[in-house]
Amino acid sequence: MSPGAVGWLLVATQFGLLATLVLVPDGSDWPTPTWLGALGWATVAAGATVGLVAARSLGSALTPTPEPRPDRLCRDGLYRHARHPIYSGVLLVVLGLTIRSGRWATLALAAVIAVFFQAKSRWEERRLHERYPEYAEYAASTPRFVPRAARRPGGRAA
């Protein structure tokens, strides 16, 4: 199967998983007091914001599939802190929906989605390594999804 076809298959799978997550009805497997629902919605909003800001950083290099464009390797904006900030944003949305759902089924689906994005990002990174010789250095110094705490001189976290 060609890389382009694999890319579209990954996108279709992603949308199917996310649509399923949204369509799972809320439940009562765990209590969801008002504050927990608010935390869930705040996490959804934060994730959507992260994803949109990251997509804007890519500019013309943004593609519908995980197949990189030949333009340039983006290290600007949120890409200075994480290699896949759009995926980070999506995972925050998934976390927020899971927190407020009150359903074990949603939690299980969120775990499947997290594993999926791990696999998708690894596939994409193989393509990025092929396209950009400098990607290995970038990957070694930049976390995949979750930014590291800022370091003070001397190596301690700020």
- Whole-number pLDDT of residue 72: 84
- Whole-number pLDDT of residue 148: 86
Per-residue pLDDT band at 92 (split at 50, 70, 90): very high
* Distance (Å, whole) CA 56 – CA 72: 15
* Distance (Å, whole) CA 84 – CA 146: 9
Cβ 46 vs Cβ 97: under 8 Å? no
* CA-closest candidate to residue 50, choices 11, 19, 87: 87
Residue 37 has pLDDT above 80, yes or no: yes
- Whole-number pLDDT of residue 39: 97
Residue 6 has pLDDT above 50, yes or no: yes
Residue 158 has pLDDT above 50, yes or no: no
Q: Name residue 104's amino acid.
A: W
Tokens 């359903």, residue located? 103
* Distance (Å, whole) CA 146 – CA 148: 6
* CA-closest candidate to residue 78, choices 47, 101, 105, 103: 47
Across-strand partners of 157?
A: 151
Mean pLDDT of 131-145: 95
